[in-house]
Structure 1
């Protein structure tokens, strides 16, 4: 394993004059021609999952999530376990705020502690960019219920408390990862698949018979900004849903945006072009996330190249600004396919670097 570790992180700074209009200079922490994953893995063995990540993705590894272990290892429960002074418990309807920490909270903490122990053991001596993932405030507010059963998203005051608590808990988590892997430059991926629905007013109430009012864009932007600003980890936002609010995410402080390439319609070209113009990194989900016959390398890379050419950016910029990923998390895949999909992401990224045209 040690042969995969670089002595130092390679920077992917944007060369002057290469983009038509650059509104903000962003230095990317990954080397040119990089691939990574989005977080979740199949199975329940954190040692095996972390070994796969470190072996297949040496340029940008991450802390895998294993929701197959059960409640507390899922995206919502895992992140809710980071909240400070806002304990949660599991109800038949899902996660809900509780009066005091109980066995559900302890199980959540135990899962994460084991994952961090595994990371510390397997990544000893690693130096370079390393990614962790947490659910974003709006996705969390749409999923976790208040004590009386309504979704947190319904109560603006409760949402503000959640954001403050999540910001503090995330900062503590970043600090813990740095303590375990001192040579890591931590990238913080904030998962916000629920943000487009919150902005559109399509999040159902707890009963399912109505919809919650839409969150105003400035309010959503401010909440996300407060969370991202709570830590000096390198911030990126993952939104594997239609109608990604690119401009809002940029204004909130995201330095990269992760999307499912198959969900990108041509009507979003202008927004994506402005995002590239601003130097924002793109994590493009180009490899299927569930078991299938993996398409050839050229076919996998074709949609990435097509998007880049359509927007008129220099081919040489592509592998610097784009990171190749699976379309979404790999929890629904078999272990063998998950390993193969990550390997394919790396092969595609290398090809985009070595053959940009």
Structure 2
């Protein structure tokens, strides 16, 4: 069976939009997930939601964005708001998905995306401080373990829990292209062994909690070998961004019995929307390109939009979700 899912984000700016997004994914997708509606405010975005999970470190909002304030004491009001909003979304999930017996997915920002986005207490990004980025990764590992336990309590009949770790910034971290606070310099390169170690703490915590660790990275130079070496058993990608080396890495992933979530449905409404047949043919051409039998690997292939749908209008959002589901049924 080929599953259908989404990357995570939806358009909207209030709780009703979240409720509608959740109804859509639960009703249409064979691998539903907890939607993100970042238009509700910075506490509802990818980074804010993840910081809301952290119990070991506190954070607050500054004009430049999120900033760590130290070890856990009395969380600042913005972090409490992020935590409260996530809890409210999980309560809604528990109500709407009562009895859900299939797989289910949640998303968190990865340790390197957080380190490149969040500031240290004394300024500049966490990325600038080896000890701070280690502490952040380890705090995230604890948080995702607790998050999985909470999901198990709320969805006791779920067949599988998947945690998608979003790392859109990881290639830039590895390349040393993240700007410093002044904008005149770049943070030093983080070498692959350290990048792998931090990811391994988080992905290992997901696995030890009884869930499946996936990583989403839609950059053209996503380091698939590093991600799998760190413990990812699923890779979520935008097919249009994959180069020759990436195709080979995805083929190796499928051949190893792991999962590829293939982003093939456009995230924004194109001038000439593709048909289901055209998108199915694209998937089959890709499988032929990498030399794999569609029937043999159908159970390890997941269909999704190319990236999040936060920029799409309501009509295309529904179309993209329905197309993903329909393609997966046809391939399955």
Same fold (TM over 0.5): yes
Q: Deviations over 1:145-189 (max 9, x none)?
A: 001211101111001110111111111111111111111221110
Kindly indicate which of the two structures has a greater share of residues assigned to helix: 2
User: Does 1:141 pair with 2:115?
Assistant: yes
Alpha-carbon separation, structure 2, partners of 1:121 and 1:206: 43
**Pairs within 5 Å for 1:227-266:** 227-230=202-205, 231-266=209-244
Alpha-carbon separation, structure 1, partners of 2:284 and 2:179: 38
Q: 1:339: which partner in 2? A: 318
Alpha-carbon separation, structure 2, partners of 1:203 and 1:307: 32
User: Does 1:95 pair with 2:66?
Assistant: yes
Q: Deviations over 1:19-68 (max 9, x none)?
A: xxxxxxxxxxxxx12110111111132221110110111x2111111101
**Pairs within 5 Å for 1:1-357:** 32-43=1-12, 44=14, 45=16, 46-57=18-29, 59-99=30-70, 100-184=74-158, 185-230=160-205, 231-292=209-270, 293-353=272-332
Alpha carbons 2:31, 2:105 under 8 Å: kept: yes
Alpha-carbon separation, structure 2, partners of 1:152 and 1:302: 44
Q: Deviations over 1:89-117 (max 9, x none)?
A: 11111111125422201210121011011
When structure 1 is superposed on structure 2, of 290-299 and 160-169 the one drifting more is 290-299
Alpha-carbon separation, structure 1, partners of 2:195 and 2:301: 26
Structure 1: gaps (5+ residues): 1-31
TM-score normalised over the length of structure 2: 0.93
Alpha-carbon separation, structure 1, partners of 2:282 and 2:297: 12
Alpha-carbon separation, structure 2, partners of 1:116 and 1:294: 34
> How far does residue 268 in structure 1 lie from its aligned partner after superposition?
2.9
> How far does residue 289 in structure 1 lie from its aligned partner after superposition?
0.9
Alpha-carbon separation, structure 2, partners of 1:271 and 1:33: 20
Helix, strand or coil at the partner of 2:138 = helix
Alpha-carbon separation, structure 2, partners of 1:295 and 1:142: 36
Alpha-carbon separation, structure 1, partners of 2:96 and 2:275: 32
Alpha-carbon separation, structure 1, partners of 2:245 and 2:19: 43
Alpha carbons 2:224, 2:246 under 8 Å: kept: no
> How far does residue 337 in structure 1 lie from its aligned partner after superposition?
1.6
Q: Deviations over 1:204-253 (max 9, x none)?
A: 11222111111111111111011111132111110011211111111111
Alpha carbons 2:254, 2:297 under 8 Å: kept: no
Q: State the number of aligned residues.
A: 321
Alpha-carbon separation, structure 2, partners of 1:149 and 1:291: 40
Structure 2: gaps (5+ residues): none
Alpha-carbon separation, structure 1, partners of 2:210 and 2:117: 26
Alpha-carbon separation, structure 2, partners of 1:322 and 1:208: 41
Helix, strand or coil at the partner of 1:229 = helix
> How far does residue 85 in structure 1 lie from its aligned partner after superposition?
2.6
Mark the CA change 1:182 to 1:221 in structure 2 (over 3 Å): closer, same or farther: same
Q: 1:5: which partner in 2? A: none
